[in-house]
Structures are given as structure tokens and as C-alpha cells.
């Protein structure tokens, strides 16, 4: 019985290895960021004649929250726009793109919804009305929701951290509206956005001409440069 249980665990790990891998490296990076940020924060505190704080106090602070949420919102914005853009725009030769004649939401038959749903299709794909409409755009809705939530968290935590520094500098604090309209906020925000847009755009274009054998993000090594939507 234990051998069967062990085999089942191994199979589950193997079948979910990609999610487990990125979940692990995400946690490792987040923990590493917390300790590095804590060290930098306390160096600043000491330089300004203030007492250093503990690690737990730092990871629950507005400063750490703003830094983390700032990165999250830019990542989810990247995927939000990419998911939407690949519905309507094409890039000839890219495995990340649909063929030119497949732009748009496609037919019910292509999407296997309603009467075209199969026995293994999700239940909401087979029904009509609001449930199918929501499920048809559920990935975009969740990505957008996380982006909005993380942007709100970034701005809320950011204004607190900004005002704490303002008070230390004997300057007047600002309101949330003033902060999200400030050059400081948009400088921090746009420097993240531009790097995300560059990365995802580079992926779409470079994959036309370059290959990674065995990766579904690449075309087969021998595929023609103008083959579109082919996965290796």
C-alpha cells in the first residue's frame, strides 16, 4: 500500500513539476528579498540615527509591502495585456501567435463551447448565458483582478512609506491622490512596466528566428521561420 501511495505522490509531483518549480523559486526569491531588503532598510535607519527593526517588523511594514506589490502588479499587467493582445493581434512566424486568419474570439466550434462541448469539457463551457461568458474570459478576469489588487496595495503601502520618510525629513505628508499622481510613484511604476513590455515583446519576436529544442515556447528546431503557432 505504501508503495502505491509513494508512486502516486511521485506521479503527482512529476505531473505538476512546472508549477512546483516556479512556486519554490518564487518563495526562495521572496525570502531572499525580505532579508536583503531588511539589511538595506536597517542600514538606512542607522545612517539616519534611528533604531534598526526586526525582520518580522520589516516584512509587515509598508516599505516591504510596496516593493513586493510593485513587482507583482507589473508582472500581472504584462500577462493581462499579452493574453488580450494575442486574441486580436498576430506575429507571423511566432509560436506565441495564432495564424492571421484566426484573430478574434473564434467560433463556438473552434472553442468547443455550447453544443460543441465534449464529455470532458468544463461544465461552464457547455452551458450558455452569463456562466459561459464569465468562464470564456476567466483567465483575463483573474489576471486583471490580481493586477488591480496589487496596484492598489502598492499605492496604499507606498503612500504610507512615502509619508513616513516625509515626516523624518520634516516635510509635510501627502494624500493618496497626491502620491499616485506624483513623479516618484510613476517613475517606480513605469520603470517596471517598460521592462515587462520589452521582455514579452522580445519573446514574441525572437521566437520567430531562434529555437529552444523541446520547449513548447519554441517552434521545432527545423520549422521554417514563417511557421506561425507551431510548438516544439
User: Do the Cβ atoms of 194 and 77 come closer than 8 Å?
Assistant: no
pLDDT in tens, 59-100: 999 999 999 999 899 999 999 999 999 999 988 888 888 888
pLDDT of residue 135: 92
Q: How far is CA 41 from CA 29, 50, 59, 167, 223, in A?
A: 18, 11, 11, 17, 51
Query: pLDDT band for position 230 (50/70/90)?
Result: low
pLDDT band at 102 (very low <50, low <70, confident <90, very high): confident
For residue 43, is pLDDT > 60? yes
The pLDDT value recorded for residue 59 is 94
Percent of the chain with pLDDT over 70: 98
Q: Which of the four pLDDT bands, split at 50, 70 and 90, describes residue 105?
A: confident
Those residues whose C-beta lies under 8 Å from the C-beta of residue 52, and which sit 6 or more positions away, are 42, 45, 46
Mean pLDDT on 106-121 = 88
Angle (CA) 92-197-218 rounded to 5° is: 40
Residue 57 to residue 61: CA distance in whole angstroms: 6
Q: Would you place residue 35 in the very low, low, confident or very high pLDDT band (cuts 50, 70, 90)?
A: very high
Grid coordinates belonging to 123: 461544465
Report helix angle 138-168 to 183-209, nearest 10. 140
Average pLDDT for the chain: 89
- The predicted structure's pLDDT at residue 164: 84
Amino acid at each position: 500500500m505504501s508503495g502505491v501511495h509513494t508512486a502516486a505522490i511521485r506521479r503527482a509531483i512529476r505531473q505538476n513539476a512546472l508549477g512546483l518549480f516556479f512556486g519554490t523559486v518564487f518563495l526562495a526569491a521572496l525570502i531572499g528579498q525580505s532579508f536583503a531588503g531588511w539589511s538595506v532598510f536597517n542600514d538606512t535607519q542607522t545612517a539616519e540615527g534611528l533604531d534598526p527593526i526586526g525582520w518580522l517588523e520589516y516584512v509587515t511594514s509598508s516599505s516591504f509591502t510596496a516593493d513586493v506589490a510593485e513587482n507583482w502588479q507589473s508582472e500581472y499587467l504584462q500577462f493581462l495585456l499579452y493574453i488580450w493582445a494575442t486574441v486580436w493581434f498576430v506575429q507571423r512566424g511566432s509560436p506565441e501567435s495564432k495564424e492571421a486568419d484566426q484573430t478574434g474570439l473564434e467560433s463556438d466550434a473552434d472553442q468547443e463551447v455550447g453544443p460543441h462541448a465534449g464529455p470532458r469539457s468544463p461544465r461552464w463551457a457547455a452551458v450558455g448565458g452569463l456562466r459561459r461568458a464569465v468562464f470564456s474570459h476567466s483567465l483575463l478576469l483573474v489576471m486583471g483582478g490580481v493586477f488591480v489588487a496589487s496596484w492598489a496595495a502598492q499605492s496604499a503601502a507606498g503612500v504610507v512609506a512615502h509619508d513616513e520618510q516625509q515626516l523624518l525629513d520634516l516635510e509635510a505628508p501627502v494624500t493618496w491622490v497626491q502620491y499616485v499622481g506624483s513623479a516618484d510613484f510613476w517613475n517606480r511604476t513605469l520603470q517596471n512596466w517598460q521592462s515587462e513590455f520589452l521582455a514579452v515583446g522580445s519573446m514574441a519576436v525572437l521566437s520567430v528566428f531562434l529555437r529552444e529544442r523541446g520547449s513548447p515556447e519554441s517552434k521545432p528546431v527545423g520549422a521554417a521561420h514563417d511557421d506561425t503557432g507551431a510548438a516544439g
